[in-house]
A and B are shown apart, each in its own frame.
Chain A
Amino acid sequence: MAGSKVRWVYLLGLVLFFIFILVNPAPLEWFLKVLFPRETVHIYQRIPGTVLVRQHLAMVLISTLIAFGVGFPLGVFVTRRAGRDFLPAVNDLISLAQTFPPIAVLALAVPMLGFGFRPTILALFLYSILPIVRNTVAGLESVPEEVFDAARGMGMNARQRFSQVELPLASRIILAGLRIAVIINIGTATAGSVIGAGGLGVPIVAGLVWNNPALVMGGAIQAALLALIFDQFIGLIDNTFLAKFER
């Protein structure tokens, strides 16, 4: 597909640009100098950018993985016969929890676990489990009854029906949930620097505290790029591998 090729190139461009400004901050510094000639410091130097990116990625990936590890089985359980009793309660709890702002969950984790890396992971996990469960349920529920009947007619047992029929048909919606979880996590992890978790929010918050817009802007550009890269990447996975399950 031609459109898909253009998007891969776009993604590659974003990644290369991101790595480029990470290892060689000179062009970014020049740009910020033009924009803010009055500031004396333009690039955050206390912690190297590569460390910040690594911290950020660690937070996002660990929390999303745990959330998927818990959320996906939970979503499958409440759509099986054994767990169907819990489906309405899970739906209600999710639509209630969904109104909680991510930053509120982050702030609430501090009284429980203190400052640093662990409360951030907990908050990111708690929040990203919502779209994962929600979309797993929505995806599995969206499989039409006739398809089930056909699978049953072909002599498939429950396990085969799940892995060969239901799961593939639900995969796009489940992936969409994962994508939302990752994007929200990247954003919330940025705010995680406020509670001392490190990550790409550090230069932004430092810039806000020292009243230096150049630092804020530098950090914001990196954080925004990272989010765009992940969004494009998951979108392309969907496009390349799962689009055939389009209904």
Chain B
Amino acid sequence: MIRIYIDRVAMLGVITGLLSFSLPFLRIKPSRLAGGTPAGWEESLPGAALFLLVVVWIMIGLLSLVSRGDSRAAFGAGIGANLIILLLFFWAGFQSGILLPEEYTFGRVSLGAGFWVMVLGAYLVILAARKVWSGNNWQTWLLSWSALAGVFILIIGGGLSGISVMEELSIRQNRFRQEFFNHLFISFSAVGIATAVGMPLGIFIYRRKTWERPVFFLTNTMQTVPALALFGLLIGPLAFFSQRFPFLRELGIGGIGWFPAMVALILYALLPILRNTYTSFQVLDEKTVEAGRGMGMNSRQLLFQIQLPLAMPLILTGIRTSLVQTIGNTTLAALIGAGGFGVFVFQGLGQAAHDLILLGVFPVIALALIADKLMQQLTIRLTPRGIIKEERGNEDGWQ
């Protein structure tokens, strides 16, 4: 006897997925700048493909009726949702070449609202399934990553090359590569420098309490100032200095370019690292430090063998916050001529070319997500065995 035990989150996903059939799957555009006409599911998909999608959704829906009580049902629903995402990307890529009318020589096909809403619905089902199907095994991996891996292979294999965003990419591949490295370089060096400054500074103000208030006041104020304004505020003095001292100009240091961007990003990235270093030292168990001192450690040994290792998880969380935030803010740096993916975003905004905007936005989001996951793994690896607690998510994401 199967007990009905509805997973309401998965059900919400199923409803979202079914509702998305009422929104357009694709948009057919006569040119890259035109708004285009929406194409519904029946007109853009072959009957069999549409039938398969509907069948998979119905199965997910049935499984979700019992999945709260049965982890195998939850697993099945989750795998079905992964399949949905894969099918969506596959058919969008496959049909994009076929659907364009003959007379649209410069025509484009882009993904419609229905596509994205259905992906969201499937993602909700996966989230629900992961809560029920616990355990660290290959099935969990399959639940979390199979759709993503499939889509990645599809992109590499050129299966999506007919989609408008990918066409924008194909005509500026070199520029894309260049801005990718620019973005990485600016973000990572800014966070690297902020770490090199923020950690010692955090330890310093932990030891000299009189400096605590002014340092926190300054860095807090810095965080409050809008990013665009901070870039602007730095242009002034830096342009002034580079006009006065030619050697700075020869180094490429001026009001415009990568240098002011880097300085602004470092100032932004400083606070989370500084605050977490300070807090982690402050919450350290006094007895542990006393024990170290009792063992005859000097302050240097105390720092490197006790305090820093124990503080590491919280410090890394701060670096993680900084990194994610900096990768996003680097987008704005394109406005002051520093390059990075923001170049495409602002070019796209300037030309009202939506797919060019997406070409800038997608990689930034992907980079931020990857950086977040990597830092999470690093934090888990570097947490000393003795203080391992349950993973609590991005605790310090907000100041």
Contacts and interface: CB of A to CB of B under 8 A. Distances in A.
Nearest to A191: B228
A101 B236 contact: no
Contacts of B394: 95, 98
Interface string A88-110: 11011101101111111001101
B327 interface: yes
Contact of A95 (B7, B256, B331, B397): B397
B148 interface: no
B4 interface: no
Contact of A213 (B127, B235, B325, B393): B235
A88 B229 contact: no
B357 interface: yes
A131 interface: yes
Interface stretch (B53-61, B193-201, B365-373): B365-373
Is chain B's binding surface mostly helix, strand, loop or mixed? helix
Interface string A190-225: 110011000011001101100101101101110110
Interface in A68-126: 85-86, 88-89, 91-93, 95-96, 98-104, 107-108, 110-111, 115
Contacts of A187: 225-229
A103 B9 contact: no
B361 interface: yes
A194 B127 contact: no
Contact of A100 (B7, B231, B368): B368
Nearest to B234: A220
B236 A217 contact: yes
Interface stretch (B135-143, B172-180, B282-290, B344-352): B344-352
A239 to B, nearest CB: 14
A135 interface: yes
A220 B237 CA distance: 13
A188 B335 CA distance: 14
Contacts of B229: 187, 190, 200, 204, 219-221, 223-224, 227
Contact of A135 (B131, B236, B240, B398): B398
Contacts of A195: 349
Contact of B239 (A89, A134, A213): A213
A219 B232 contact: yes
Given A86-B8, A224-B233, A98 B397 contact: yes
A218 B124 CA distance: 46
Nearest to B334: A103
B224 interface: yes
B298 interface: no
Is chain A's binding surface mostly helix, strand, loop or mixed? helix
Contacts of A186: 226
Nearest to B221: A228
A17 to B, nearest CB: 15
Contacts of A88: 9, 127, 131
Contacts of B364: 101, 104
A85 to B, nearest CB: 5
Chain B interface size, as a band, is 35 or more
Interface residues of A, number: 56
Contacts of A183: 223-224
A103 B226 contact: no
Contacts of B224: 183, 224, 227-228, 231
B127 A89 contact: yes
Contact of A91 (B255, B332, B360, B393): B393
A107 B393 contact: no
A36 interface: yes
B166 interface: no
B226 A223 contact: yes
A100 B325 CA distance: 9
Interface string B283-321: 000000000000000000000000000000000000000
B230 interface: yes
Contacts of A131: 398
B358 interface: yes
A101 B397 contact: no
Given A95-B393, A220-B232, A221-B229, 12 more contacts: A89-B9, A89-B127, A103-B329, A104-B331, A110-B357, A176-B398, A207-B232, A223-B229, A224-B230, A227-B226, A227-B229, A228-B224
26 contacts: A35-B240, A85-B8, A85-B9, A95-B394, A98-B324, A100-B328, A100-B365, A101-B325, A101-B328, A101-B331, A102-B328, A104-B345, A107-B345, A108-B357, A111-B354, A134-B397, A176-B398, A187-B227, A194-B346, A204-B228, A211-B256, A216-B235, A217-B233, A224-B230, A227-B225, A227-B229
Q: Which 9 A-B pairs have the closest CB atoms?
A: A101-B328, A220-B232, A187-B226, A220-B229, A111-B354, A223-B229, A216-B232, A217-B236, A224-B225
